[in-house]
Amino acid sequence: MIQQKIESLRSKIEHLNKQYYVYHISEVSDSEFDSLLKELEKLEAENPQFFDSNSPTQRVGSDLIGGFESVEHRYPMQSLGNTYSIGEVSEWMERTTKESNLSNSYCCELKFDGAAISLTYEKGRFTRAVTRGDGVRGDDVSAAIRTIRSIPMTLCGDNIPAVMEVRGEVYMPFGVFEQLNERRYDIGEEPFANPRNATSGSLKLQSPTEIAARELECVLYSIQCDTLSTKTHHETLQLMHSWGFVTSTYTTLCHSIEEVERYVAKWDKARHKLPFATDGIVIKVDSLAVQRTLGSTAKAPRWAVAYKFKAEEAITTLLSVEFSVGRTGAVTPVANLEPVQLSGTTVKRASMHNAEQIALLDIRVGDKVAIEKGGEIIPKITRVVTEQRGLFSTPIEFPERCPACYSPLVKREGEAKHYCVNSSGCPPQIVGRIAHFVSRKAMYIDSIGEQTIELLFANKLVRSIADLYDLRAEQIEGLERMGELSASNIIAGIEKSKSVPYARVLFALGIRYVGETTAKKLAAAIPSFDELGGASFERLVAVEEVGEKIARSILEYFSDEANILTIERLRSVGLQFEGEAKEVLSDILSGKRVVISGTFERHSRDELKELIEAHGGLNQSSVGKNTDLLLAGAGLGPAKLEKAQKLGTIIISETDFELMINS
């Protein structure tokens, strides 16, 4: 009886997942879905004899994956031949016609820019996920793939092969990518260059919980097996969709080079509006029989080709290189460029990442360099135009000492960055930590900007975050660009910050790797700073989103006597070092995911976020498939509005929101 109940719940939840991720239909509310999942979790915990690795409850399993097993692909994962012009595509199509002696149809698909994956299903059940690797062998990343909710663990439908490998691409949407990089900035880590790199890195994380937080997506586009009932690739995609796989909605069947050319031209222009990165078009002969006739070379199939979009590139001159020191001590080389237009913006600077990147590209001051926007977001130098290099150019030397305080730089094991370890005496680190401390998501002392911090530091009025609370108005009034009103505003802002809640104080301290979200999780799990300071490694890693790296960083922070003295000074002036239970006003928004965008008449965005949480809702930063409400204010971006309308997200005004929570 219990086993039947468990199987029934698993089946129902898998059905709801399929309806949601494949057909974009929400048959139940999020709270109802969560209730079903919790019921299943409880029954499975009470009856471990019925454990199933493919259960919906195992989407985020053990928090440690371990090493990655190397696995041989049953069918090799070949790469595609690339073309860069419609002329080359036309020549390829002519060859396929001549060699098959048939007038073929062609399936055109967007080429998602992520990480290739092969999923094995046996008797309709997911058994393994393997990366491309070298095409013959790849890494088993099954634990990571289980966290992607759009990938079905159990298939349903007719004509499912007994054993098959399903090929596709795991990718990270732009909205998630931007949030991830924002979090990395928060904790002092280098941002990812593009969504593809972020996706590949995510699949190799050790913590499934952390992988799940990356909100990866997956689109599937082919099947490899010994028996398949369909006759064309297009039919295969439709069959895959019926079994529960997410397939691309941007696929078109073309019958001539003119139709292919129109498809390419359309997406070469429209790709910039897509919510994910794409670097080209994949064109496949539609007939599976013709595919078998054409066969493959040692490297690539003859029946498919990739048309690569031309990257938007600009050539400019590298004028100089600065070595910037961040609040964590990381030293980042920044290229100062002769201003140039690229993708509608003027680019003057680009990150050069680290010493290894400089050496790899052999970049020299005065070189002509090509720049692109990685993933259409971050400017990067991709190559040097060496044929235009001057005779007297010299390699860039990465400094051995900190450019700000002249302390020796160190390179930590496993990291590409160089660091200045003089955290207490290096001016950019001190200024950076104070700037982080007063920032909007931390203490929110908006009367103090970075220039003001530099002015206070230069005049020896602040040397640490605790010094802010010793400032007096008369000390500030006499400074350059300061007057009585400015001084009064600064002192008032500092005083107001004493009421900032514990979670934000914890984030403001700038503990390495502890971003805004992690600080909230820590504050909820360990609601006292004294308790946090005495927490063991085991207790820390038990907190959601706290892995080994974060736990070690917290322990290291509390082992530093200077940090303890700073905390005591902050405590003595009245900062909040204990959490308070959040006031729960209602459950009217229970389980609802809400995005706030624009400006509002009666509330600040932070006030709205607190109201959403107080009424049981969840705040999101970008509109996605699972967003329930878009709270729209003045100045709402047209792209966000269009996406919400396309996804069927309910859009409400500030007045609508007030009526909702007061009903």
**Residues acting as catalytic residues:** 111
Rounded Cα distance between 174 and 18, Å, is 23
What is the rounded CA–CA span in Å between residue 429 and residue 421? Answer: 10
DSSP conformation class of 398: P
The CA-atom distances, in angstroms, between 230 and each of 33, 104, 216, 258, 500 are 35, 17, 30, 27, 62
HEC-encoded secondary structure of 183-205: HHHHCCCCCCCCHHHHHHHHHCC
Nearest to 595 by CA among 639, 652, 527, 532: 652
User: 334 with 283: CB under 8 angstroms?
Assistant: no
For 504, phi then psi, to 5°, come to: -75, -35
Closest CA to 164 of 220, 235, 107: 220
| C-beta of residue 471 within 8 angstroms of C-beta of residue 491 | yes
Write the secondary structure of 264-307 as one string of H (helix), E (strand) and C (coil). Answer: HHHHHHHHHHCCCCEEEEEEEECEHHHHHHHCECCCCECCEEEE
- Torsion from C-alpha of 466, 469, 471, 477, nearest 10 degrees: 120
Closest CA to 482 of 510, 519, 453, 439: 453
Reference 302, options 98, 74, 84; nearest CA is: 98
* CB-CB neighbours of 300 under 10 Å: 16
354-381 burial, b at 16+ Cβ within 10 Å, e below that, comes to bbebbeebebbbebbbebbbbbbbebbb
CA angle, residues 582, 587, 590, in degrees to nearest 5: 100
